[in-house]
């Protein structure tokens, strides 16, 4: 399905569930045991459960990134942005740099690791990013995916938990989940599953959001000019930039999976049958011409931008949406204020990461400051 109406129906209607037990092909043994995604969607976690179980798993994450806690995080976000911009400012004029690796990635990775209480030293933060990418790699074999998600990721997180217990850490999301474990409210598998989901969702999607906004503005100079004019007039255009980036190039490629609990009619007389699995292709839906005027054009402030479904709909809506928006808005404003001549490196940044769920590029080469013009030779 590629229309906004059908996508919203599947994501928000209670006639669709997330528990794989509702998938007829799975119940009937028709899904190959070596299918790489099987291990991920078989798990009973935040992204694969419904009802009371889902609410129980979601509660501690939702509390950790509540609007109040996001407001409290803003000074830290600002400080991280300032430090990263100082690094970009040290790049010689005219020299390209990968904005994704040097700015868009370290910002949300550092913020989510702060929320989780991951130490700044020792390389663990970089290791968690590597594990996230490996877990989301749709080109990996079933054996590799099982090794990453079933062994490496849990072992790394269990070691983190034990280190934090030994230090007596308390005030972070990891230890809040551990407290729920100790109280019998969560199992070990549920704690690890929540941590994995929070780590991946807490930084990979924000990386892609920031990069999409930068690419959108730099490939649509009229949009960038309009944003600058609004800012000069005393407005704050950056929330509109973020919403349009979420619509124009969603950080999520596909929402996996919803299973029909009964026959559900959709557009044009089609019917999703009981037990069928549905994959929701978010970028295609958000370029739907029936829902968005001139959908391929990046135009911040468009009146229909808020109809995007990049963060989902209903009970499974992304709990970190407010944090992602704050990070992206602050990052974009500071980036374009600091580097008014920021430019893309032509012909680069188009190769996408091999993932069924994450919609991002491998890199975003830019030139922060143009090379100084060569001096004009004096007339002889």
Nearest to 82 by CA among 336, 300, 293, 334: 334
**pLDDT at residue 276 tops 90:** yes
**How long is the chain?**
380
173, two tokens: 């999301």
Helix, strand, coil percentages in the chain from 3-state DSSP, rounded to 5:
55, 10, 35
| 8 Å CB contact between 136 and 204 | yes
**pLDDT at residue 378 tops 70:** no
| 8 Å CB contact between 244 and 299 | yes
Q: Over the stretch 335-372, which tens digit does the pLDDT of each residue have?
A: 999 999 999 999 887 889 888 888 999 999 999 999 87
Residue predicted with more confidence, 306 or 213? 213
**pLDDT at residue 380 tops 70:** no
Above pLDDT 70, what percent of the chain?
98
pLDDT at position 256, please? 86
pLDDT at position 32, please? 92
Nearest to 239 by CA among 326, 335, 317: 326
Lay out the sheet containing 16-17: strands in order across: 16-17, 254-260, 277-281
Residue 239: Cβ-neighbour burial (10 angstroms; 0-12, 13-18, 19+): middle
Cα-to-chain-centroid distance, residue 66:
17
Residue predicted with more confidence, 255 or 377? 255
Nearest to 251 by CA among 303, 328, 315: 328
174, two tokens: 């990891």
Least confident of 198-202, 234-238, 247-251, 292-296: 198-202
pLDDT at position 36, please? 80
Q: Over the stretch 140-176, which tens digit does the pLDDT of each residue have?
A: 887 888 888 889 999 999 999 999 999 999 889 999 9
pLDDT at position 155, please? 94
Above pLDDT 90, what percent of the chain?
68
**pLDDT at residue 84 tops 80:** yes
- For every residue of 115-147, DSSP letters joined together read HHT--SSTTHHHHHHHHHHHHT-TTS-HHHHHH
246, two tokens: 């979420």
pTM of the model: 0.92
pLDDT at position 376, please? 44
**pLDDT at residue 72 tops 50:** yes
Model confidence at 63, pLDDT cuts 50, 70, 90, reads: confident
CATH superfamily of 51-251+316-366: Cytochrome P450 (1.10.630.10)
End-to-end CA distance of the chain: 69
Q: How far apart are CA 12 and CA 264, in angstroms?
A: 13
pLDDT at position 374, please? 46
Which of 141-150, 200-209, 232-241, 346-355 is the most confident on average?
232-241
**pLDDT at residue 52 tops 90:** yes
User: Mean of the pLDDT values across residues 102-120?
Assistant: 92
Neighbours of 42 (CB within 10 A): 13
User: Mean of the pLDDT values across residues 14-21?
Assistant: 95
Least confident of 39-48, 100-109, 236-245: 39-48
Q: Where are the domains of the chain?
A: 51-251+316-366
177, two tokens: 């989940």
**pLDDT at residue 42 tops 60:** yes
């Amino acid at each position: 399905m590629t229309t906004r109406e059908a996508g919203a129906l599947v994501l928000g209607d209670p006639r669709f569930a997330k528990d794989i037990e509702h998938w007829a092909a799975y119940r009937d043994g028709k899904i190959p045991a070596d299918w790489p995604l099987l291990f991920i969607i078989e798990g009973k976690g935040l992204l694969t459960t419904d009802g009371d179980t889902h609410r129980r798993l979601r509660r501690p994450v939702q509390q950790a990134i509540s609007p109040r806690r996001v407001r409290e995080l803003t000074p830290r976000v600002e400080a991280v942005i300032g430090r990263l911009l100082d690094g970009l400012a040290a790049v010689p004029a005219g020299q390209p740099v990968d904005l994704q690796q040097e700015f868009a990635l370290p910002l949300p990775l550092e913020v989510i690791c702060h929320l989780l209480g991951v130490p700044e030293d020792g390389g663990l933060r970089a290791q968690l990013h590597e594990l996230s990418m490996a877990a989301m790699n749709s080109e990996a074999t079933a054996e590799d995916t099982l090794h990453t998600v079933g062994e490496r990721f849990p072992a790394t997180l269990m070691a983190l938990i034990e280190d934090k217990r030994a230090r007596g850490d308390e005030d972070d999301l990891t230890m809040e989940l551990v407290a729920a474990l100790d109280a019998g409210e969560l199992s070990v598998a549920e704690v690890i599953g929540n941590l994995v989901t929070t780590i991946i969702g807490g930084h990979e999607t924000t990386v892609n959001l920031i990069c999409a906004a930068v690419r959108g503005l730099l490939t649509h100079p009229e949009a960038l000019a309009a944003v600058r004019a609004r800012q000069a007039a005393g407005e704050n255009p950056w929330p509109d930039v973020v919403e349009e980036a979420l619509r124009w190039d969603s950080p999520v490629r596909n929402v996996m999976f919803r299973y029909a609990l009964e026959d559900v009619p959709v557009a044009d007389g089609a019917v999703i049958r009981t037990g069928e699995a549905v994959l929701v292709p978010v970028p295609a839906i958000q370029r739907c011409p029936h829902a968005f005027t001139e959908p391929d054009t990046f135009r911040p402030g468009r009146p229909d931008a808020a109809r995007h479904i990049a963060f989902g709909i209903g009970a499974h809506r992304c709990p970190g949406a407010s944090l992602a928006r704050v990070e992206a808005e602050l990052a974009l404003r500071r980036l374009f204020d600091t580097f008014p001549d920021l430019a893309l490196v032509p012909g680069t940044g188009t190769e996408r990461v091999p993932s069924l769920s994450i919609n991002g590029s491998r890199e975003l080469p830019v030139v922060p400051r143009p090379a100084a013009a060569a001096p004009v030779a004096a007339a002889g």
